[in-house]
Structure formats: C-alpha cells, structure tokens
Structure 1
C-alpha cells in the first residue's frame, strides 16, 4: 500500500530519530547530525551506565524483589524487573529518571501502541516487561520500534483521520485522529532520545581524564 503523502514526512522523521538513538546506544560511531559526514565515536551502552543514577532519588528500572525507589509506590509491568511508578497525582517535582527508565518508557509506549493499532488491542502496562540489562533493553526497543513502524505502514488516509484508530489506553489516543497520535509518538522519541544522549555524555564526562 502506498504511503499517504501526509504520513511520509512523519515516517521519515520517525526513522531518523529511531536510527539516531539506536546508534547513540550501540556505537561504535554516530552521526553528529550537522550534515558534514563527521562521526562521533561512542561505546556501547553498558549495564552500569544503563542503571546509573546521576542524582539522589532517581526513578529507574529495579529488581522487583528490591521494591520501588524513592517516592515511587509500584514497579510497573511484569517479570523480574519493573519501572518506578506512582499513580496520579504524580510526585512533584518530577523525579529525575535514568537511561533505563527512559528507554523502558519509550519501548513500552511503542510496543503497546503497535498492539492497540494493528495487534490484539489488549496489552496494558501490566503486561510490559522491562529489562534489567542494557543489551536486552536495546533489543526490546528495536522490536517495539519495528512493530510501531509496521503499524504505520498499514494506515491509509482514512485511518489517519480516524479518531481512536489507536486504542492505546494510557494516553489521549482514543480521542485523537491517528495522525495526531503519530506526531505525538515522534516527539516522544525525539525528546526522550535527546535526554538519553545527554545522559550518555554526562556519564562519559564523569570519568577522570587520563593524563598523557
């Protein structure tokens, strides 16, 4: 099915943001983004960096047996690891979140929206499984992004205008035309991807510089 003209730029934006974040997580190089072809060397995300808490009282992904972190009341999802969470009203000021938390959040919203657009329309946050290691989290993100992209490719112009084409229950999707949901997912990927990239820069900068 041809990609609708209105969807094409949003799909290209999604692909760019997805690839850039994936490269930023895995290395060995990433495009600096300035268009001159210069690459920046980055190492693969380690488990230590994935779970690094740069400030006190971070929200993160934790072993379920350890219980939720500061100001969190639950570890969302299923499996041995869960993501710090709390029901509304959420803590204020918002907790600072780790790479693990942000990547889990992105993966969940992509995977669940794919299901509620082109899948069984049944998955909830209680079904989502967070990973306690960097490699598993990166692989899960790649799978979720691919599932969401496949769902987008199944959308024609009628679907783009349909309110509630995505029935994802943890957002405004049931009340929005699908093209607005697509825009929202892109901005989530762009801004959380930028946050993760900055955390990688801060983690690298915290290590003592070697003297010549």
Structure 2
C-alpha cells in the first residue's frame, strides 16, 4: 500500500488509529441482540440493571437503568500507571483523589515490589463495557469541547435495548471524533484542555488524553469481540 502524501503528524496518526478501530468495531457489533448484550457468562458479573436491582454499592445512571460500580480501588493492572504518575511529579494526595482511594492505599501501591497479584475483579457484560465507553466518550467531549459542567456519570441513559444503546453510543463516538479532528497543534500540547473530572486528564497535555481514549476504546472493543465469540459457541463444546 502506497504512503505517498500520507500525513504523519501526531494528530493524523491518532485519528487514523481511531478510525480503523471504529471501522472494525462497527463490523464486530453488527447484529448484536438484547439477550447477548445482557448475557452474564459467569456468576457475579457487573452489568446494567434496573435501579432497584443494582448489586454494587456505587451503581450509577440518571434513568431507570444503572451501571454497576463497586468500591473504589487501584487494580493491579494500574500499578505501573500509578508509579508513572508519581515519577512524573504527581503528589500522592492528588493520585489518591483521582482514584478515589486513601493516601495510604496509594503509598501501599507505590511500595509494592515484584509482580502484582492478578486482579480479582468481576467479569463485565457487553452492556457494561459499552456503557462504560459511552459515558467516557460523552463526558470526554463535554469536558474538552462542551460546557464542562455535566457529570459524565449522569450523561448516559442506560438501556436494555442493544439497538438503542448502539445508536446512542455511536452518536457520542462520532461527536468526539469530529471535535478531535479539529484540534490544533497548540491545543494538543495544552495541559488541562480536558477538564474531565475523573482520572488525570486535567493534568495531561491533550494529545495524551486522545491517545488514552484510543487505548480505552481498542481494549474494551477487543473484550466485547471475545464475548461475542463466546456467546456464539456457548452451547456446543466444539463451537460448531
């Protein structure tokens, strides 16, 4: 494939990566039905649920359905990220605030040596993963390009309908993509261009926020693709 005339600036590379990922995701999500969307392949899954049936202490959402969320902690898979934050000059107090944990918990993570124990976190459904991405992209747009006032956790009306969820999800993703496509070089380097209230976005140059959004999208879509494969072969040992 020829590369003559291809742009290789930072934004173009990130946009091309995101566009390819969304193309693959749209194809992989085609035909998603309600039963598969809400399928819980193991006991103790996190999902979306009617408000009165939430099984987690911090389940959230503005409407009749909420997204499961447990007590705050720093998962083992994020220990390296916490170490990078501290090495980059972020205070222990700020890290604790971003992760909604105690200073003592951050200090425990920073003092950890050797390989972390595997995370003991619940398996999440396709509905949960899509909902998680949806409010992240909706909130990402609000706090970088919008009014910077709405709580991301109250911006998405979670629904048991796969078709409705996908329609709303792609609207949020497309709006994010259109806005990011117009970002200037100066804005890419601006620390605090995104004021997203959860995590460290407000302390990073916006180019890092865009790269992080790409990573979040890609890894959750890969998980969703695997869940779709498991759904397809769930009834026969051979998968045929």
Contact 1:76/1:83, CA 8 A, preserved across alignment: yes
| C-alpha distance after superposition, 1:149-196 (max 9, x if no partner) | 122023100000000111111121100000000000000011000000
Shift of 1:4: 8.8
SS in 1 for 2:59: strand
Residue 150 of structure 2 is aligned to residue 123 of structure 1: yes
Which residue of 2 is the match for residue 25 of structure 1? 29
Shift of 1:209: 8.3
Correspondent of 1:59 among 17, 26, 46: 46
| C-alpha distance after superposition, 1:17-59 (max 9, x if no partner) | 1121111111xxxxxxxxxxxxxxxxx0110000000010000
Return the alpha-carbon distance in structure 2 between the equivalents of residues 123 and 16 of structure 1.
Answer: 30
- Structure 1 gap ranges (5+): 27-43
Which residue of 2 is the match for residue 85 of structure 1? 69
Correspondent of 1:98 among 125, 132, 141: 125
Runs of 4+ in 1 over 4 A off after TM superposition: none
Return the alpha-carbon distance in structure 2 between the equivalents of residues 117 and 4 of structure 1.
Answer: 24
Contact 1:4/1:156, CA 8 A, preserved across alignment: no
Shift of 1:132: 1.5
Which residue of 1 is the match for residue 224 of structure 2? 196
| C-alpha distance after superposition, 1:80-114 (max 9, x if no partner) | 11100124137961111000000000111111101
CA radius of gyration, larger in:
2
| C-alpha distance after superposition, 1:117-175 (max 9, x if no partner) | 11111121133321221111111110111111122023100000000111111121100
Which residue of 2 is the match for residue 7 of structure 1? 11
Let me know the Cα RMSD of the aligned residues: 2.1
TM-score (norm 1): 0.83
SS in 2 for 1:74: coil
Shift of 1:63: 0.9
Contact 1:117/1:151, CA 8 A, preserved across alignment: no
TM-score (norm 2): 0.74
Return the alpha-carbon distance in structure 1 between the equivalents of residues 14 and 58 of structure 2.
Answer: 35
Residue 166 of structure 2 is aligned to residue 138 of structure 1: yes
Return the alpha-carbon distance in structure 2 between the equivalents of residues 115 and 127 of structure 1.
Answer: 9
Greater share of helix residues, 1 or 2? 2
Residue 36 of structure 2 is aligned to residue 49 of structure 1: yes
SS in 2 for 1:187: helix
Contact 1:115/1:123, CA 8 A, preserved across alignment: yes
